Amino acid sequence: MRALILRRLLISVPLVIAVSWLTFLLQHLAPGDTARAVLGENYTPEGYARLRAQLGLDQSLPVQYWHWLTNALHGDFGVSPINGLDVGAEIGTRLGVTLSLIVVTTVVAAALGIALGSLSAIRGGPLGRIVDVLSLAGFALPSFWLALVLVTIFAVTLRILPATGYTPFAESPGGWTTGLVLPVAALAVHGTAAIAKQTRSGLLDTLSRDFVVTLRANGASERSILFRHALRNAAIPVVTVIGLVFVSLLNGTVLVEAVFAMPGLGGLAVQSATQHDVPAIQAVAVTFTLVVVVVNLLVDLAYGWLDPKVRVR
């Protein structure tokens, strides 16, 4: 298992560097640049050239990237040329918002998806068809559209939940919880559908195997068969889907954070990209990549816990 973790970490280093370089390159290939974003519409060629020199934009792209990379390796993501804020501090402030939203959504989707998938596999019949219909609906409904519908019903019409904003957990656990209900509900539908579908398929396959027939013949209870044997054997593909759901939420939060006016990394990414704020968008891209690396590592560790054969590979 230690070898597996070390190998994953070694693979992650060139991945992070590649993502940061690609993000850096795409930002500079996009129309406009940071100097024009700072100066606005009215500027002189002399002032524009002077600001480009101050920001280091007159240097070659490899030199600019190398300066950024060496500073980033020392924990310095620079200062935003747009608003003058420290990028590292901004990332630290917004990361908690996005992680709260993603982690809670993943937990809710996993719990509901595994429960629905297990029930449909065990009971079958109409319940199985209901899960199929809910899965199709979950895949078809866009998260941002569902978010707008939820805001209209529960925040505007019924006025029982807040429409916008985010309250830190340390400040008010109750406010943190109620503020996450609507965005989590909007984001969890797709993940719940995917996990329920995979759980149902995995359990149906596992429950039809010979060892389950033998356990039943030996008098094992259905509860014991389900929780001690079937779910564990069907869990690896379910864990894979849960990991994919978590990673996909990094994209889904961009629009949902905008709908609910949550100060997360998604909003910072959109704002930085439109303003050519290279230090900020670089930091966001690296942060998202590191989150993906950690999630993949946790999924690998879950594989090793569920299947001992993975530990010796």
Whole-number pLDDT of residue 178: 94
Residue 308 pLDDT greater than 70, yes or no? no
pLDDT on residue 289: 92
Average pLDDT over residues 295-303: 85
Q: What are 55-110's pLDDT values in tens digits? A: 888 888 899 999 999 999 888 998 998 888 899 999 998 999 999 999 999 999 99
Averaged over 170-199, what is the pLDDT? 91
Position 169 pLDDT exceeds 60: yes
Confidence at 309, pLDDT banded by 50, 70, 90: low
- Residues 242-292: tens digit of each pLDDT: 999 999 998 888 888 888 989 999 888 888 888 888 899 999 999 999 999
Q: What is the 3-state secondary structure (H, E, C) of the chain?
A: CHHHHHHHHHHHHHHHHHHHHHHHHHHHHCCCCHHHHHHCCCCCHHHHHHHHHHHCCCCCHHHHHHHHHHHHHCCCCCECCCCCCEHHHHHHHHHHHHHHHHHHHHHHHHHHHHHHHHHHHHHCHHHHHHHHHHHHHHHHCCHHHHHHHHHHHHHHHCCCCCCCCCCCCCCCHHHHHHHHHHHHHHHHHHHHHHHHHHHHHHHHHHHCCHHHHHHHHCCCCHHHHHHHHHHHHCHHHHHHHHHHHHHHHHHHHHHHHHHCCCCCHHHHHHHHHHCCCHHHHHHHHHHHHHHHHHHHHHHHHHHHHHCHHHHCC
Which neighbouring-strand residues pair with 86? 79
Residue tagged 């966001």 (tokens): 284
pLDDT at 89: 92
What is the predicted pLDDT for the residue at 310?
A: 57
pLDDT-derived band of residue 39, with 50, 70 and 90 as boundaries? confident
CA distance 13 to 232: 32
The model's pLDDT over 99-138, given as tens digits with 9 standing for 90+, comes to: 999 999 999 999 999 888 888 888 777 767 777 777 777 7
The reported pLDDT for the residue numbered 176 is 95
pLDDT average, residue stretch 144-149:
88
pLDDT of residue 241: 92
Evaluate whether 253 touches 247 at the Cβ level (below 8 Å): no
pLDDT of residue 1: 64
CA distance 227 to 231: 6
CA distances 47 to 58, 59, 84, 277, Å, are: 13, 17, 19, 19
CA 225/CA 211 separation, integer angstroms: 10
C-alpha 87/C-alpha 265 separation (Å) is 12
Q: Which domains does the chain have, with CATH numbers?
A: 31-76 (no CATH), 87-311 (1.10.3720.10)
Q: What is the pLDDT of residue 202?
A: 86
Residue matched to tokens 């149902």 = 200
Phi, psi of 44 (to 5 degrees): -95, 155
What pLDDT, on a 0 to 100 scale, did the predictor assign at position 217?
79
